[in-house]
Structure 1
């Protein structure tokens, strides 16, 4: 584990969506370690309660259950973050779904719409709520969790990749509209060892990792450190950027 800057987010509050486990929890852990108070979301309250305990308890963390694309849930989470911790300085749109695997010609249109709703439209809506409630007046920083699948064709998860390409473009548009007081950036991970990505490596991790120049798959901490950088003042002259965090896999022509 690399050394962490001390108290980089002291007295700041973050919302991290989809953070009961995996990449989202890894991001939340890094932010808390650097002084932030964090509100984590997910579908199940019991899983969020476990995450809050792991993060250090109610003094530094709060879990709010709901569906990421539910606007009432978004409004409630934003309101509770400000009520509990006094501000909303940082937002990480981490929630993503990929309920379909296979060729585009077999993709159900209803499933495609749901992917866009959760992966793209919900991200915009979270930013809108944060902007209205706090960031529009006080400023802030946003990071959207995209994917290398949004940068290169990814057979089998093609529409997921298309939704992440939309999220990357949305990041750029928001960066222009919300500057100079709110910065908006993104990360594009390759395969990270989480339950969400299990179908891409479980049972053949060593084989999959061989395609990566760095010879291993990612772990949530690899993404958490980069997201923390983008949210922080260390990235104060960066907006509209998508940082690839992929172990070098794009260099070898893969996704």
Structure 2
């Protein structure tokens, strides 16, 4: 079987584990060289080893909302692998849980910085350095929490709604050379989402028509599709990957 991403380079943020790692793993399997980021150097180095080592991937540790880190990552991608053809904005945070009336506004500002403004800044950086001249494809990782009220994680959902909007706006502004799409997962079994299902997985999964929660590979395969030539006439789309749960009227 051919390698559809042979000769291409991807940057995947927040990729030491979970959805980000699954995306990177799928892209490497399909022939891409991958530059992965995360805050902590040790888990990131372990992820690079699991991806096959420096022949296939390099890690650049840093904070996703740090412009210097973003710039260094893009530069490393171009210097090491010769380009920056794909960008997957996977990094997201949600350090608070509860009603909006109790929301710490300092935490809220940080969530906006990481979930929205950092994603936009990554796009700006990679576009200036590579995609503006060479073209490319971008996928943002949104959430079904951004499509309907999600009690307990409402502000996180608000930032994901903004990310979905930014996806559509960027698709209009960056076409035809750059395609920009997003995925909106339901509950995926990652450390990030533990509070949404821990101790009640069967109960939560019962609301899903497919009767199970997602796993990272469920999202990684859809991201790979959106980056691929199979999706060459798709831009500005937010693909829901949720086991059908939003069809039932249930949210997170």
TM-score between both structures, scaled by the size of structure 1: 0.98
Distance between the aligned counterparts of 2:111 and 2:161, measured in 1? 12
Residue 142, structure 1, aligned to residue 138, structure 2: yes
1:162 corresponding residue in structure 2? 158
2:99 to 90, 98, 103: 103
1:35 corresponding residue in structure 2? 31
Distance between the aligned counterparts of 1:44 and 1:251, measured in 2? 38
* Residue-by-residue CA offset, 1:95-115 (whole Å, 9 max, x unaligned): 000001000000011111100
* Residue-by-residue CA offset, 1:119-150 (whole Å, 9 max, x unaligned): 00000000000001000000000000000000
Give SS of 1:57's match. coil
Give SS of 1:240's match. coil
2:168 to 172, 178, 193: 172
1:11 to 7, 10, 13: 7
* Residue-by-residue CA offset, 1:191-235 (whole Å, 9 max, x unaligned): 000000000001111111001000000000000000000011100
Unaligned runs of 5+ in 1: none
Unaligned runs of 5+ in 2: none
Distance between the aligned counterparts of 2:129 and 2:92, measured in 1? 24
Residue 64, structure 1, aligned to residue 60, structure 2: yes
Give SS of 1:149's match. helix
Give SS of 2:182's match. strand
2:177 corresponding residue in structure 1? 181
1:235 to 228, 231, 235: 231
Q: CA deviation at 1:6?
A: 3.2
TM-score between both structures, scaled by the size of structure 2: 0.99
1:44 corresponding residue in structure 2? 40
Give SS of 1:39's match. strand
Distance between the aligned counterparts of 1:107 and 1:152, measured in 2? 19
Q: How does 1:180-199 map to 2 (within 5 A)?
A: 180-199=176-195
Number of aligned positions between the proteins: 251
> Any runs of at least 4 consecutive aligned residues in structure 1 with deviations exceeding 4 A, and if so which?
none
Residue 248, structure 1, aligned to residue 250, structure 2: no
Distance between the aligned counterparts of 1:195 and 1:109, measured in 2? 24
Q: CA deviation at 1:243?
A: 0.1
